[in-house]
């Protein structure tokens, strides 16, 4: 899908800012040398390790290298090493984090969005902390003593908010939709892996300040095990998606629906759902339901001409939907997916929003396919049917998505 022009411009701005920060950090470090190289090497090795075992991008581009992220934040917030002052500054933090991230990603370069977020959030944390530490401000009350850790936690909360804003900007530029919805999804994800990253980063910085570099492997181990578990979870989700996509293709292989119909409906449904502000979990349900929305046609003795269910009588559409829901319930996917498939042929006022989206997008693809309508004519016909069959909000959201350019079918 083509991103909004201003969204694409925002993404380019984020990438350009990250590139400028990286160049400045490397130039400053090259000119002044690396302070405390053994400390830089230890944290660089930790960040590289986390990057080397990172998983695939999660939903919405979630952080998949938490050990690397926690190590980067800990280095940005490091004020002492074994009781001795740390002497590195913000430019060196940026240089070490960038070099370690690229070193750990050899053979599997990180996405530009991932690298930009890592650099900018780390630079933000270091910029807030290092000048205060180097100026001696943190040696005085209330930042020192029992208030030191809460001060670090407050700083990390601001850093997490900064990262959420960056992630929302990049997600909106990549997938379109509302910036508010993207930011809400990122903020909802913070209590999960984001909290673990922030807590581990603070603990590592405090532990190294007291015990020295030996504290790094001890305190990063729990998060490393979590990261390995997350990789397995991501692999299971990918397998589930591939299974659903294979089931969706069964109607094409059997000749009941045109080639690519399910994938087109799924991609356009997800984009429409994002336009309407659906959360990430609802978008996943919507995508799975859209992929399998025609699976009930496998139970028919006589295939529907061209697989287009939109011209059928309402009773026949509901029967096919009920048959499809019964099949979906046997696949082991979430029961909400079966509900969407079963109710896609009901009057829209009786449907959940996800079912309204699938019905409208499926009708649009049917109308623009073998039925022969152009996109504008198809949208006009959908608007004329908003009294009973199609939700006006969904039709208008679909029109906005199409105006930006139809999304490409996913092939995951």
Q: How is the chain split into domains, by residue range?
A: 5-222, 238-404
Distance CA 342, CA 207 (A): 55
Phi/psi-derived region of residue 52, left when phi > 0, alpha when psi is between -120 and 50, beta in every other case? alpha
What mean pLDDT do residues 383-411 have?
Answer: 82
HEC letters along the chain? CCCCHHHHHHHHHHHHHHHHHHHHHHHHHHHHCCCCHHHHHHHHHHHHHHHHCCCCCCHHHCCCCHHHHHHHHHHHCCCEECCEECCCCHHHHHHHHHHHHHHHCCCCCCCHHHHHHHHHHHHHHHHHHHHHHHCCHHHCCCCCHHHHHHHHHHHHHHHHHHHHHHHHHHHHHHHCCCHHHHHHHHHHHHHHHHHHHHHHHHHHHHHHHHHCCCHHHHHHHHHHHHHHHHHHHHHHHHHHHHHHHHHHHHHHHCCCCCCCHHHHHHHHHHHHHHHCCCCHHHHHHHHHHHHCCCHHHHHCCCCCHHHCCCCCCHHHHHHHHHHHHHHHCCCCCCHHHHHHHHHCCCCHHHCCHHHHHHHHHHHHHHHHCCCCCCHHHHHHHHHHCCCCCCCHHHHHHHHHHHHHCCCCCCCC
pLDDT at 85 > cutoff 70: yes
pLDDT at 88 > cutoff 50: yes
Among 18-22, 135-139, 142-146, the minimum mean pLDDT is found in 142-146
Q: What is the pLDDT of residues 11-44, one digit of tens each?
A: 889 999 999 999 999 999 999 999 999 999 999 9
pLDDT of residue 236: 77
Question: What CATH fold (topology level) applies to the domain 238-404?
Answer: Hypothetical protein af1432 (1.10.3210)
pLDDT of residue 371: 60
What pTM was estimated for this model as a whole? 0.70
Percent of the chain with pLDDT over 90: 21
Distance CA 363, CA 359 (A): 6
pLDDT of residue 149: 66
């Amino acid at each position: 899908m083509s991103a909004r022009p201003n969204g694409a411009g925002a993404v380019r701005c984020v990438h350009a800012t990250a590139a400028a920060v990286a160049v400045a950090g490397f130039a400053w470090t090259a000119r002044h040398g690396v302070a405390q190289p053994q400390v830089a090497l230890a944290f660089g090795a930790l960040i590289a390790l986390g990057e080397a075992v990172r998983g695939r991008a999660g939903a919405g581009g979630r952080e998949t290298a938490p050990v690397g992220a926690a190590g980067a934040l800990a280095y940005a917030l490091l004020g002492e090493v074994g009781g001795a002052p740390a002497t590195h500054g913000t430019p060196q933090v940026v240089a070490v984090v960038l070099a370690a991230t690229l070193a750990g990603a050899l053979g599997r370069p990180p996405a530009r969005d991932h690298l930009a977020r890592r650099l900018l959030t780390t630079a933000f944390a270091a910029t807030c902390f290092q000048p205060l530490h180097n100026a001696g401000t943190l040696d005085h009350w209330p930042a020192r003593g029992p208030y030191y850790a809460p001060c670090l936690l407050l700083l990390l909360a601001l850093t997490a908010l900064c990262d959420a804003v960056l992630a929302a900007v990049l997600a909106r530029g990549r997938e379109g939709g509302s910036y508010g919805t993207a930011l809400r999804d990122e903020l909802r994800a913070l209590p999960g892996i984001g909290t673990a990253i922030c807590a581990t980063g603070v603990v590592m910085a405090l532990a190294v300040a007291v015990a020295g570099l030996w504290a790094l492997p001890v305190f990063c181990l729990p998060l490393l095990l979590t990261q390995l578990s997350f990789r397995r979870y991501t692999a299971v989700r990918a397998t589930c998606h591939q299974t659903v996509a294979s089931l969706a293709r069964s109607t094409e292989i059997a000749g009941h629906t045109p080639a690519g119909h399910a994938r087109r409906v799924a991609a356009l449904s997800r984009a429409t759902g994002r336009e309407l502000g659906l959360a990430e979990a609802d978008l996943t349900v919507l995508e799975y339901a859209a992929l399998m929305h025609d699976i009930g046609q496998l139970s028919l003795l006589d295939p529907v001409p061209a697989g287009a269910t939109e011209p059928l009588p309402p009773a026949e559409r509901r029967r096919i939907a009920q048959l499809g829901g019964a099949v979906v319930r046997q696949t082991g996917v979430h029961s909400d997916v079966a509900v969407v498939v079963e109710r896609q042929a009901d009057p829209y006022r009786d449907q959940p929003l996800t079912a309204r989206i699938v019905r409208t997008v499926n009708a649009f693809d049917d109308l623009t396919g073998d039925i022969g309508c152009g996109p504008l004519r198809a949208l006009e016909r959908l608007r004329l049917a908003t009294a009973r069959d199609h939700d006006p909000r969904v039709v208008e959201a679909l029109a906005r998505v199409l105006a930006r350019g139809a999304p490409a079918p996913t092939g995951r």
